[in-house]
């Protein structure tokens, strides 16, 4: 996220002070001016009440009096300052006509009473309003020239003339920073620095100068110099409790750290600024801070948090009715939904963006919105429409000389052409993208090199100063004393380093032993896979985490259903492992189990987890699955693992020194019995089934699959799942195996199987039923 120079200038001015309080002595006007940055409505009310309730004195001897002893009258000087405060308050409230009217009244009082010393202050305020409200830099600079000419005509001992000179110079520098080249702006800032008073009472002016210069340096990507100015301003403002200036510093530091990728500190400063703006109901600044917070969360890929802050900014901008910021927020929301792959929502907000940006068709925001719209259509498998939109965005970005957007457009256009089978053109676009990307990389490297050179110069200057300091402090006796101390410290340090090294080596060895013991404790001794201990340690915590996420989603604490917390379980029995040791001996059996463990470890990657439950039983857990996924896909995956291993084992050459005849007689069976279930098992009660009860369900399904396999001699699978309306009471505080069988009988539990024959569940719960339940799944239907 990047704020424009005019926006930064407006943010600086809205919370700045024109040093009027030091000119007048009225406590009422001083209070009104202090409230400008935090409560402009209240400041306007105070100044207007001051003008309405007090009578303007016409005595010639009171025209330039600053005291406020008589509270029934107001002097012309106080009247001018009251009108200036009203004008600035109207400007804060974005009421330019009222601000201009108040400024004209101030001019009338100045001309009527010939207040030459106050005229320059009124002219300076007019220049500031011309720049920040109208955006006319030429007229504002012309008015500043008149201010400088008027200041030169006044004597140097005039009232507060140095403060006016500084404010004029700083305003000129801020205008040039937004409109002229960086060298001209830096010269203007140096002139403003020369006008800055060193008196302790003018620390606020120093902070405002550092914040203005820091914002300019930040916009110029001179991060090291900007950090120096902004940190200095932040600490001075904190020590003197300049709350409005602290908020400005927090915003700029957050922007700086965001650009540098230090997101944790950026988030901290942005939150502090947002809290200030929210406390004082400063809508425009609060909107900016909310957008910055959202951009930081978006950079961290925490898109749900980013959406929360973007929607906060959207609500504020809708109340303010500012078209451009409103369009920018809509675009940011569309971009975030695109990152979350919610393409319909992204398309909806991008349409709103294009509608709002209709008044600025050639703006960079419009170009970026068209490009994002093309990317959305590309994701929705509309490559032809996407190509047209991306091409339009590319042409506009080239006309605007927006290199970043041009680069992204080439990449997106390459993908759109590739989706249409236009591979030659797609390759050309990809090459153009790589060329531009290489140029950007070169620019970034050059910027890093310049930063390193700047740091090197700072270090060199620091080293030179240290050397001079050492020469000044260098006495022979002190040097000898310091040498002795240094030798003692070095010796002590050497001893400490040896001790630390020995202890560290011992700690490393103990850590290695501990890790080895942990691996042995949680690994099956023959296959090397994770064993039942690991399953008992990991599965309860995994289910508790899933339960918590599902409860948050159910209570609307989470925006989207946590699909990544859905778990599919497959318990499978490998037939050839049962009598392996008895039929083939210890050495061959152990070798085959080791190869099986290594093979399964290589094949099961990504979101899957595999545990060796017992001698021939394994449990495979898969996460992040879709609700409409069929169980036979997981069963076939498990069966294919065993079949591929058996085929691989039979094909590999036997290089062992054992009897070749015995090796040739080992023919492994590919029969696999798979029991399947999902978590949550009960859709309406996620926490009703714990880890042990879920394993009981898997054992029930696997047992039936093994019975089918014994009858047919082939691999089979059985899948159990509760219906959506299954009550939790049927499965709580009871034997899960009997509860599942009763659920099958009553229709609460669905059964899917690979068998073409019937499954008789009667033998499992004869005491609970008087008739056997027969399940036939030839057409993959559940009973």
| 3-class SS of residue 567 | strand
Calpha distance 258→697 (Å, rounded) = 51
Would you report the helix, strand and coil content of the chain in percent, each value rounded to 5?
70, 5, 25
Main-chain dihedrals φ then ψ at residue 661, nearest 5 degrees: -65, -40
Question: Which residue carries 């499954």 as its tokens?
Answer: 759
CA distance 254 to 248: 10
User: What per-residue confidence (pLDDT) applies to 312?
Assistant: 93
Q: Are 711 and 757 in contact (CB under 8 A)?
A: yes
Dist. CA 132–CA 771, nearest whole Å: 87
Tokens of 547: 């339960």
What DSSP assignment string belongs to 717-771? EEEEEE-TT--GGGTSSS-HHHHHHHHHHHTSEEEEES-SS-EE-GGG-TTT-SS
Three-state SS string over 640-686 comes to HHHHHHHHHHHHCCCCCCCCHHHHHCCCCCCCEEEEEEEECCCCCCC
| CA pair distance 248, 270, nearest whole angstrom | 10
Beta strands in 437-591 (DSSP E): 567-574
Cβ pair 371, 407 in contact under 8 A: no
- How high is the pLDDT of residue 586? 86
Query: Where do we find the tokens 């620019």?
Result: 443
User: Would you call 157 exposed, middle or buried from its count of C-beta atoms within 10 A (0-12, 13-18, 19+)?
Assistant: exposed
State how far the Cα of 366 lies from the Cα of 364, in Å rounded to an integer: 5
DSSP state of 133: I
For 281, counting Cβ atoms within 10 Å of its Cβ (0-12 exposed, 13-18 middle, 19+ buried), the class is exposed
Contact 163, 197 (CB under 8 A): yes
Torsion angle defined by CA atoms of residues 178, 182, 187 and 189, in that order, rounded to the nearest 10 degrees: 50
CA-nearest of 34, 68, 75 to 51 is 75
Q: Which residues contact 371 (CB under 8 A, 6 or more apart)?
A: 389, 390, 393, 394, 397, 405, 408, 409, 412
Q: At 713, is the secondary structure helix, strand, or coil? A: coil
Please tell me the distance from the alpha carbon of residue 773 to that of residue 73, in angstroms, as a whole number: 101
Can you tell me the distance from the alpha carbon of 504 to that of 522, in angstroms, rounded to the nearest whole number? 26
Q: Which helix (H) or strand (E) holds 772?
A: none
Q: In terms of C-beta density within 10 A (0-12 exposed, 13-18 middle, 19 or more buried), how is residue 342 classed?
A: middle
Give yes or no for a contact between 612 and 529, defined as CB atoms under 8 angstroms apart: yes
Check residue 472 and give its pLDDT.
77
CA distance 255 to 219: 10
In whole angstroms, what is the distance from residue 484 CA to residue 534 CA? 58
Check: CB of residue 580 under 8 Å from CB of residue 683. Answer: no
Interatomic CA distance for residues 386 and 374, integer angstroms: 4
What is this structure's pTM?
0.57
**Helix 403-419 with 364-379: angle, nearest 10 deg:** 20
Structure tokens at 291: 């957008």
Interhelix angle for 343-356 vs 323-339, to 10°?
160
**200 CA to centre of own chain:** 41
Q: How far apart are CA 680 and CA 623, in angstroms?
A: 12
With contact defined as beta carbons under 8 Å apart, do 409 and 371 qualify? yes
Q: CB under 8 Å to 605, separation ≥6 — which residues?
A: none
Burial 209-246 (b: 16+ CB within 10 A, else e): bbbbbbbbbbbeebbebbbbbbebbbebbeeeebebbb
Reported as a single tens digit per residue, the pLDDT across 683-724 is 777 677 877 888 899 999 999 999 999 888 899 999 998 888
Confidence (pLDDT) at 560: 47
Across 121-145, b (16+ Cβ under 10 Å) vs e yields: bbbbbbbbbbbbbeeebeebbebbe
Length of the chain counted residue by residue: 783
CA atoms within 13 A on the CB side of 641: 26
With beta carbons less than 8 A apart as the criterion, state whether 344 and 376 touch.
Answer: no
Six-digit token pair at 614? 């017992």
CATH number for the domain formed by residue range(s) 532-775? 3.30.70.270
Q: Residue 60 gets which letter from DSSP?
A: G
Helices 243-260, 263-279: crossing angle, 10 deg rounding: 150
SS3 582: helix
User: From CA 708, how far away is CA 776, in angstroms rounded?
Assistant: 12
Q: Coil, strand, or helix at residue 125?
A: helix
Q: Which two tokens stand for residue 256?
A: 């700086």
| CATH T-level fold of 361-471 | 1.25.40
> Can you spell out the DSSP letters for 385-405?
HHHHHHHHHHHHHHHHT-HHH
Contact 541, 680 (CB under 8 A): no
Helix or strand holding residue 99 (H, E)? helix 96-113
**Which residue positions in the chain have pLDDT lower than 70?**
1-25, 58-71, 156-159, 200-201, 361, 451-452, 454-456, 458-459, 462, 543-565, 624-628, 653-666, 686, 758, 762-783
**pLDDT tens per residue across span 637-695:** 999 999 999 988 888 765 555 455 445 566 788 899 999 998 888 877 767 787 788 88
Residues with Cβ within 8 Å of 418's Cβ and at least 6 positions away in sequence, in order, are 426
């Amino acid at each position: 996220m990047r704020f424009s120079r005019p926006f930064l200038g407006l943010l600086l001015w809205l919370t700045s002070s024109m040093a009027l309080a030091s000119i007048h002595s009225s406590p009422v006007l001083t209070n009104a001016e202090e409230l400008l940055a935090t409560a402009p409505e209240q400041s306007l009310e105070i100044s207007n009440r001051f003008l309405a309730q007090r009578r303007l004195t016409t005595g010639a001897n009171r025209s330039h009096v600053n005291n406020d002893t008589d509270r029934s009258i107001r002097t012309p000087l106080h009247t001018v300052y009251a009108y200036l405060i009203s004008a600035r308050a109207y400007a804060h409230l974005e009421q330019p006509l009222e601000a201009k009217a108040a400024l004209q009244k101030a001019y009338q009082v100045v001309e009527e009473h010939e207040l030459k010393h106050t005229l320059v202050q009124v002219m300076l305020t007019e220049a500031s309003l011309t720049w920040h409200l109208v955006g006319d830099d030429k007229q504002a600079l012309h008015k500043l020239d008149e201010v400088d000419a008027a200041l030169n005509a006044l004597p140097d001992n005039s009232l507060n003339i140095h403060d006016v000179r500084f404010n004029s110079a700083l305003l000129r520098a801020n205008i040039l920073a937004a409109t002229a080249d960086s060298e001209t702006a830096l010269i203007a800032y140096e002139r403003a620095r020369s006008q800055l008073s060193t008196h302790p009472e003018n620390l606020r002016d120093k902070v405002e100068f550092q914040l203005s210069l820091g914002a300019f340096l930040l916009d110029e990507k001179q991060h090291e110099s900007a950090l120096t100015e902004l940190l200095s301003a932040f600490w001075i403002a904190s020590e003197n409790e300049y709350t409005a200036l602290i908020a400005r510093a927090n915003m700029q530091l957050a922007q700086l750290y965001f650009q540098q990728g230090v997101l944790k500190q950026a988030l901290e400063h942005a939150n502090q600024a947002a809290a200030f703006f929210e406390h004082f109901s400063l809508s425009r600044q609060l909107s900016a801070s909310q957008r910055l917070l959202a951009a930081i969360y978006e950079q961290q890929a925490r898109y749900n948090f980013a959406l929360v802050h973007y929607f906060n900014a959207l609500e504020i901008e809708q109340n303010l009715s500012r078209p451009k910021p409103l369009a920018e927020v809509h675009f940011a929301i569309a971009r975030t939904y695109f990152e979350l792959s919610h393409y319909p929502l992204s398309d909806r907000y991008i349409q709103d963006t294009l509608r709002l940006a209709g008044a600025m068709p050639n703006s960079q925001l419009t170009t970026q919105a068209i490009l994002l719209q093309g990317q959305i259509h590309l994701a929705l498998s509309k490559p032809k429409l996407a190509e047209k939109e991306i091409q339009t965005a590319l042409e506009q970005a080239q006309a605007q000389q927006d290199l970043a957007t041009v680069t992204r457009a080439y990449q997106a256009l390459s993908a759109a052409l590739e989706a249409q089978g236009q591979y030659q053109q797609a390759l050309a676009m990809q090459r153009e993208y790589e060329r531009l990307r290489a140029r950007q990389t070169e620019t970034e490297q050059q910027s890093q090199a310049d930063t390193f050179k700047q740091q090197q110069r700072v270090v060199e200057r620091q080293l030179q100063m240290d050397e001079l300091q050492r020469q000044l402090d260098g006495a022979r006796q002190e040097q000898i004393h310091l040498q002795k101390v240094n030798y003692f410290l070095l010796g002590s340090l050497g001893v400490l380093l040896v001790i630390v090294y020995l202890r560290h080596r011992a700690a490393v060895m103990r850590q290695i032993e501990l890790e080895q013991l942990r691996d042995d404790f949680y690994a099956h001794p023959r296959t090397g896979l994770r064993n039942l201990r690991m399953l008992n340690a990991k599965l309860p915590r995994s289910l508790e985490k899933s339960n918590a996420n599902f409860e948050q989603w159910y209570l609307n604490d989470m925006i989207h259903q946590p699909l990544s917390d859905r778990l599919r379980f497959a318990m499978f029995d490998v037939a050839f492992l049962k009598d392996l040791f008895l039929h083939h001996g210890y050495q061959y059996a152990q070798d085959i189990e080791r190869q099986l463990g290594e093979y399964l470890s290589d094949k099961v990657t990504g979101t899957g987890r595999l545990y060796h439950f017992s001698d021939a039983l394994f449990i495979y857990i898969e996460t992040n699955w879709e609700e409409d996924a069929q169980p036979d896909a997981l069963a076939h995956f498990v069966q294919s693992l065993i079949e591929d291993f058996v085929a691989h084992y039979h094909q590999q050459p036997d290089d062992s020194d054992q009897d070749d005849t015995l090796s040739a007689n080992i023919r492994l069976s590919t029969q696999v019995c798979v029991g399947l279930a999902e978590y949550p098992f009960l859709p309406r009660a996620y926490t009703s089934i714990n880890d042990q009860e879920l394993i009981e369900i898997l054992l029930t399904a696997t047992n039936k699959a093994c019975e089918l396999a014994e009858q047919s001699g082939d691999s089979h699978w059985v899948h159990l799942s509760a219906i959506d309306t299954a009550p939790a009471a049927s499965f709580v505080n009871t034997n899960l195996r009997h509860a599942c069988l009763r659920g099958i009988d009553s229709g609460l539990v669905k059964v899917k199987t690979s068998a073409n024959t019937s499954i008789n569940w009667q033998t499992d719960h004869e005491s609970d039923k008087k008739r056997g339940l027969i399940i036939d799944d030839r057409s993959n239907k559940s009973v």
